[in-house]
Amino acid sequence: MSATQKDAQRQIERITAGLSPDEIERRLAPKSGTPPRRVPGATRTDPQTVAKRWAAIPHSIPGMAQVADSASLAEHAGYARNIENFVGTVKVPVGLVGPLRVNGLSAQGDYYLPLATTEAALVASYHRGASVITESGGCSVLTMNEGVSRAPAFAFRSLLEAGRFVQWCIEHDAELRSAAEATTHHGRLENLRFNLEGNHVYLLCEFTTGDASGQNMVTIAAQAICTVLETRCPVKPAYGFVECNFSGDKKSSAQSFQGVRGRKVSAEVRIPRDVVRRFLHTTPEKMLEYWRISAMGGILSGTIGIQGHYANGLAALFIACGQDAACVSEAAVGVTRLEVEPEGDGFLYACVTLPNLIVGTVGGGTGLPSQKACLDIVGLAGPGKARAFAEVCAALVLAGEISITAALSANQFTKAHSRLARGRPAAGA
């Protein structure tokens, strides 16, 4: 980001905080000397090894027993495949939202959802939105597409070589598919897409991953494809890598709406005017006015998608239910739309579409003790439940969008946060 001369000067003064040039240079310079002892590594989780890791910290930790508590240490073996350098667990408060009525192709019923968060007012907001949806007969939800991609890339001496490489890949599609699918019982290579940039070739490998979120699954499968290309293809790249930042992994990107990562899900609900008035203390027209001006704000600020706060609900549900929390960076891309239907009493129509829901009900952190218990609350732990879980995620996001839009349109947003987060009414509210 560029800065004017005056802004740059103010920033320099703020950053240096009165330090002399010599002191600044000393602080920023590399430091010699023997570092403290290294944390004992690897995947061992037994209490003796945990104690050695805590002992490596050069200062006392008064709250050590809150992390290395007896329950965590007793269950230490269950964490071995999910963490390295294990020292304990962190407790995040979990609140319950529901019932949330979901009328999906895969998710059917009234769901109670655990949200793990330290942000006051979040659970209350989603709980209110869930009540509105349920009071309105539930939301309709549809999983429209699914797949997870990995994007190896290769560099060649010329554009001609890159083209010949692509041609070989097309002709040997069955061989590449066989190599990839030999690495997994559940993954399937659905498509190979090619993107040439000069003498570089990006190979977008698109997989379905069953009931797992599938990030590790597709990495291993893509590596098998790379091995075939390196050993069998007569056109040898100068170099290549298993992932070259083209898949959209764990980041929002311009291609979010051009395909799918995880599951693409859309949810909608028609809310009667009386429900809007009684539960949300506003009107459909006021909510539409807010959505319209906030959508333009999103466009002007350059956001990818148009939505209020998908990340809030998704992060809380992901943490509670053992999902990869970093995937919120892409899962929280999406579009919210509101309309006031002219027929009848003027129903509020609300819908959300999320093209990048990276979720699973097996593998990863879904089998850890607390996370498994939270998935059991939802009733969607284990095989055959991932598509339903994705639909529940979309329904939760819809609940959150309805509630926050209502709060802002009714001028209750600040008041709610002040009351729930600080325990006192906001000044002037």
Catalytic residues: 119, 324, 417
Name which of 344, 209, 166, 205 is nearest 270 in CA terms: 344
Instruction: For residue 93, give Cα distances in angstroms to 118, 374, 427.
Output: 6, 12, 28
End-to-end alpha carbon distance in the chain: 37
Contacts of residue 331, defined as CB under 8 A and 6 or more positions apart, other chains included, come to 262, 310, 314, 318, 354, 356, 357, 358, 359, 393
Does the CA dihedral 139-387-266-297 come out positive or negative? Answer: positive
Report how far residue 262's alpha carbon sits from residue 390's, in angstroms, rounded to the nearest whole number.
9
Structure tokens at 296: 């333009």
Residue 199's identity, in one-letter code, is N
Please report which helix (H) or strand (E) contains residue 313, including its range. helix 310-320
Mapped onto helix, strand or coil, the DSSP state of residue 207 is: strand
**Following DSSP, what letter does each residue of 63-101 receive, concatenated?**
THHHHS-HHHHHTGGGGTTT-SS--------EEEEEEEE
Bridge partners, residue 397, by sequence = none
Neighbouring C-alpha atoms within 13 Å toward the C-beta of 133:
36
